[in-house]
């Protein structure tokens, strides 16, 4: 069975500093990995995904994530945080080898960027 862990409930970072939001996963086959962001009272918005290829993927709003197979991690990063990045971030995984289209989400990490 596939699973995702986001070990931090909240991450605080000063504006202009780099940010990292952590995600680790477990799947038996090939991992398809995703990051989504949720602003207050809104649905989830897609940020980026890793399917195959280059381990560093770039997405919307200057975010990027690095796939690390040996550590089964897919951490979200941004070189310079903005106050407007404050939101709830979700990591998700799908087992690309199983034939299932079931996406499992983590519990979310609240990012707070301080001015």
Partner 1 sequence: GAGVSQSPSNKVTEKGKDVELRCDPISGHTALYWYRQSLGQGLEFLIYFQGNSAPDKSGLPSDRFSAERTGGSVSTLTIQRTQQEDSAVYLCASSNTGWGNTIYFGEGSWLTVV
| Binding region for partner 1 (CB under 8 A) | 6, 32, 34, 36, 42-46, 49, 51-52, 90, 96, 100-108
Nearer to partner 1, 82 or 104 (CB): 104
Q: What are phi and psi of 84, to 5 degrees?
A: -70, -10
- Residue of 29, 102, 23 lying closest to 63 (CA atoms): 23
Question: What CA dihedral angle connects 68, 69, 74 and 78, to 10 degrees?
Answer: 20
Q: Which is nearer to partner 1, 72 or 98 (CB)?
A: 98
User: Which residues, in sequence order, are CB contacts of 1 under 8 Å at separation 6+?
Assistant: 28
- In the complex, what is the shortest distance from the CB of residue 49 to partner 1, in angstroms, rounded to a whole number? 6
74, 67 contact by CB (below 8 A): yes
Least CB distance from residue 6 to partner 1, whole Å?
8
- Nearest distance from C-beta of residue 2 to partner 1, angstroms: 10
CB of 10 to partner 1, least distance (A): 11
């Amino acid at each position: 069975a596939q699973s995702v862990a986001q070990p931090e409930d909240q991450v605080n970072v000063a504006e202009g500093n780099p940010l990292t939001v952590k995600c680790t996963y477990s799947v038996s086959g090939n991992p398809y990995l995703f990051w989504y962001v949720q602003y207050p009272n809104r649905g989830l918005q897609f940020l980026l995904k890793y399917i195959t290829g280059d381990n560093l993927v770039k997405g919307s709003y200057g975010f990027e994530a690095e796939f690390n197979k040996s550590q089964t991690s897919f951490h979200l990063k941004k070189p310079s945080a903005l106050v407007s990045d404050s939101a709830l971030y979700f990591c998700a995984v799908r087992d690309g080898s199983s034939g299932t289209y079931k996406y499992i989400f983590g519990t979310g990490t609240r990012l707070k960027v301080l001015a």
